[in-house]
């Protein structure tokens, strides 16, 4: 067997007051014909990044409405994750393709994981490129197969997508965040389904200002001075170096401002430590820049505290599959400034519920606007939170998956 992940318990009824009874009733109606169906989610890692965060809520909710849902993680070693990180970057437009040896490594680990995959599933959902070859290797192990892509494929490296396409094109169904991410040549049904956040998870639950202040103080933040924060992986696409540059421009006019860069280091991202160290070097010892990760005991509660306490939350991505940290920040009613890329514009309407930017200077300018006008920040945060409530909370994502399973299984 592949490695099972223990995902705990969640109850759909707990979300009714946030998303409304109508959606909850629709979900139960969709789930009724699917009760007892065996569903498997397969991903590369059980922690770090948006995929695992989604599955820690989605899998228990699927169980709560009657599906026999499991989540398993593939086996991989450093050589595999080095290759798949390069693949991830190339699929998002980086110029370097995998070498022949690296493609061979990817194929070899997929073959090994295919042998370890148990059969007898009604639907198998394969997340992202790391295990994408499984369907072609062992199609008999599940009645239905879905490939779920969480990354931006709008302008992929041509050689990389050409090599990967024969593995993903035959899937009976594929799921993407946005239409522009869908590559040409897919043979099955294509679904457009944005991801969602769990408003009741420790990272997103309501937090008192006093609790947020107490936690931020533990990490050396002066809670009486303004704070800018970005929560994301340490990854060139998230541009933490550009955030530092924008902070320095802001600091020329607001010398009291502080910056927190908070991220998690994922097991399938060996490049992360290199970029973390490069970010620390770029900060150049500035005592007002706090660079933290999960190895500093920064977990979900601490992320919540930093986002809840921040005067401006930034996500200055230059490429972005979706950017769940955007909805997480906006859900806390905080003013938001982010890159005008990928799925971020789906979550933010420029000038109404936050700001979309394309350069360091624009990022600094919009951040200063909010810092100089706290009432503007409150209005942006209030409008943004309602948009997230209506569109990007987990029960909506559960409903969308039930619709896909109904179509694939004829329920």
Q: Could you read off the pLDDT of 238-270 as tens digits, one per residue?
A: 999 999 999 999 999 999 999 999 987 765 566
169-178, 263-272, 391-400 — which is least confidently predicted? 263-272
Residue 293 confidence (pLDDT) above 90: no
Which of the four pLDDT bands, split at 50, 70 and 90, describes residue 156? Answer: very high
C-beta separation of 179 from 109 below 8 A? no
Q: Where are the domains of the chain?
A: 3-196+393-409, 209-391
Residue 117 pLDDT: 98
Which of the four pLDDT bands, split at 50, 70 and 90, describes residue 235? Answer: confident
Segment 294-351, tens digit of pLDDT: 777 888 899 999 999 999 999 999 988 888 889 999 999 999 999 999 899 999 999 9
Domain at 209-391, CATH from 3.40.50.2000, 3.90.550.10, 3.40.50.261, 3.40.50.720? 3.40.50.2000
State how far the Cα of 155 lies from the Cα of 375, in Å rounded to an integer. Answer: 39
Segment 205-227, tens digit of pLDDT: 998 999 999 999 999 999 999 99
Percent of the chain with pLDDT over 90: 88
Quote the strand ranges of 215-300, DSSP E.
227-231, 258-263, 289-293
CA nearest 222: which of 267, 287, 266? Answer: 287
CA nearest 120: which of 59, 46, 70? Answer: 70
DSSP bridge partners of 39:
69, 123
Secondary structure of the chain as H, E, C letters: CCEECCCCCCCHHHHHHHHCHHHHHHHHHHHHHHCCCEEEEEECCCCCCHHHHHHHHHHHHHHHCCCEEEEEECCCCHHHHHHHHHHHHHHCCCCCCCCHHHHHHHHHHHHHHHHHCCCCEEEEEEECCCCCCHHHHCHHHEEEEEEECCCCCCCCCHHHHHHHHHHHCCCCEEEECCHHHCCCCCCCEEEECCCCECCCCCCCCCCCHHHHHHHHHHCCCCCCCCEEEEECCCCHHHCHHHHHHHHHHHHHHCCCCEEEEEECCCCCCCCHHHHHHHHHHHHCCCCCEEEEEHHHCCCHHHHHHHHHHCCEEEECCCCCCCCHHHHHHHHCCCCEEEECCCCHHHHCCECCCEEEECCHHHHHHHHHHHHHCHHHHHHHHHHHHHHHHHHCEHHHHHHHHHHHHHHHHCC
Residue 363 confidence (pLDDT) above 80: yes
Question: Are 3-196+393-409 and 209-391 the same fold in CATH?
Answer: yes
Arithmetic mean of pLDDT, 138-146: 98
CA nearest 177: which of 67, 321, 281, 330? Answer: 321
State how far the Cα of 294 lies from the Cα of 306, in Å rounded to an integer. Answer: 13
State both tokens at 342.
């990928």
pTM: 0.90
CATH architecture of 3-196+393-409: 3-Layer(aba) Sandwich (3.40)
State how far the Cα of 268 lies from the Cα of 282, in Å rounded to an integer. Answer: 24
């Amino acid at each position: 067997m592949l490695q099972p992940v223990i995902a705990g318990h969640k109850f759909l009824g707990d979300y009714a007051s946030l998303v409304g009874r109508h959606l909850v009733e629709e979900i139960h109606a969709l789930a009724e014909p699917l009760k007892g169906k065996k569903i498997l989610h397969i991903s590369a890692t059980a922690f770090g990044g948006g995929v695992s965060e989604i599955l820690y809520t989605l899998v228990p909710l699927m169980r709560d409405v009657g599906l026999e849902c499991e989540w398993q993680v593939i086996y991989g070693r450093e050589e595999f994750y080095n290759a798949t990180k390069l693949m991830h970057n190339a699929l998002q437009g980086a110029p370097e393709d995998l070498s022949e040896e690296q493609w061979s490594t990817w194929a070899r680990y997929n073959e090994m994981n295919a042998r370890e995959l148990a059969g007898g599933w009604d639907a198998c959902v394969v997340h992202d490129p790391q295990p994408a070859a499984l369907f072609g290797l062992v199609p008999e192990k599940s009645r239905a197969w879905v490939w779920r892509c969480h990354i931006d494929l709008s302008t992929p490296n041509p050689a990389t997508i050409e090599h990967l396409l024969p593995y993903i094109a035959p899937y009976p169904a594929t799921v993407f965040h946005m239409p522009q991410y869908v590559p040409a040549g897919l043979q099955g049904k294509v679904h457009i389904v944005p991801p969602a956040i769990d408003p009741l998870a420790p990272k997103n639950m309501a937090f008192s200002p006093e609790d947020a202040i107490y936690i931020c103080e533990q990490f050396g933040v002066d809670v009486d001075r303004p704070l800018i924060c970005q929560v994301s992986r340490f990854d060139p696409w998230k541009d933490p170096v550009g955030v530092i540059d924008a902070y320095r421009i802001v600091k020329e006019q607001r010398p009291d401002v502080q910056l927190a860069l908070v991220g998690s280091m994922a097991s399938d991202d060996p490049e992360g430590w290199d970029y973390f160290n490069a970010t620390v070097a770029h900060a150049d010892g500035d005592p007002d820049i706090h660079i933290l990760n999960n190895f500093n005991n920064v977990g979900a509660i601490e992320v919540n505290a930093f986002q809840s306490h921040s005067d401006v939350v930034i996500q200055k991505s230059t490429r972005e599959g979706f950017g769940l940290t955007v909805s997480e920040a906006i859900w806390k009613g905080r003013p938001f400034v982010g890159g005008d890329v990928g799925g971020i514009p789906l979550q933010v309407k420029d000038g109404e519920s936050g700001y979309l930017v394309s350069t360091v200077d624009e990022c600094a300018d919009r951040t200063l606007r909010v810092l100089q006008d706290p009432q503007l920040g409150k209005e942006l945060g209030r409008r943004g939170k309602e948009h997230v409530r209506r569109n990007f909370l987990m029960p909506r994502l559960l409903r969308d998956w039930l619709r896909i399973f109904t179509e694939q299984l004829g329920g």
